[in-house]
Amino acid sequence: MDTVDKKTRSRIMSSVGQYDTGPELRLRKSLHRRGLRYRTNVKQLAGSPDLVFPKYNAVIFVHGCFWHRHGCKYTTTPSTRHTFWMEKFRKNKNRDRRNVEMLLDQGWRAMIVWECIVKQCDTIELAQLATVISDWLSSGVPYEEISPVS
């Protein structure tokens, strides 16, 4: 049972940010500090990647664990309208997979960084994460995913 009325829930859900999320901003700041330059939310590319590095022909998606179903503690499922939510999450995962496949087919390299890894990093760990990303950008590896060790 929802604790707020339908109109309030709609307003709350519509205010959920798609761009410039907290984890994305933290990661961007850390990468910029490392001297990496990028474009954000390039709509011409499949999935409108959060970060695009044209110099490296690479993109990064900062995936929210709830919407993209990472499986960590942030991957909760609402108790109401279970069928609706399961279908929504299934479609999100399928779309994510298709977007990465399209980018790889077009010669782009793709990385997924899960929000939980960014959320739990302190400043030093965030700098280390930026180093890992920088190394990946220079490596030529086509696909990578960064998530916490379970």
Q: Is the pLDDT of residue 112 over 70?
A: yes
Inside any domain, residue 109: yes
Query: Mean pLDDT, the chain, as a whole number?
Result: 89
How far apart CA 100 and CA 50 sit, in angstroms, is 13
Inside any domain, residue 125: yes
Output the pLDDT for position 19.
62
Inside any domain, residue 91: yes
Tell me which residue has tokens 């399209």. 102
Sheet holding 39-40, edge to edge: 39-40, 51-53, 58-63, 109-114, 143-146
- Give this prediction's pTM: 0.85
Inside any domain, residue 149: no
Residue 27 structural domain: 13-139
Question: 52-70 pLDDT, tens per residue?
Answer: 999 999 999 999 998 899 8
Tell me which residue has tokens 């999450």. 89
Inside any domain, residue 76: yes
**CATH code at 127?**
3.40.960.10
Inside any domain, residue 92: yes
What's the distance, Cα to Cα, between the start and end of the chain in Å?
A: 31
Output the pLDDT for position 3.
77
pLDDT > 70 in the chain, percent: 90
Output the pLDDT for position 150.
44
Task: Please count the structural domains in the chain.
Answer: 1
Tell me which residue has tokens 């503690």. 73
Inside any domain, residue 69: yes
Inside any domain, residue 54: yes
Q: Average pLDDT of 78-91? A: 92
- The pLDDT confidence band at residue 5, using thresholds 50, 70 and 90, is confident
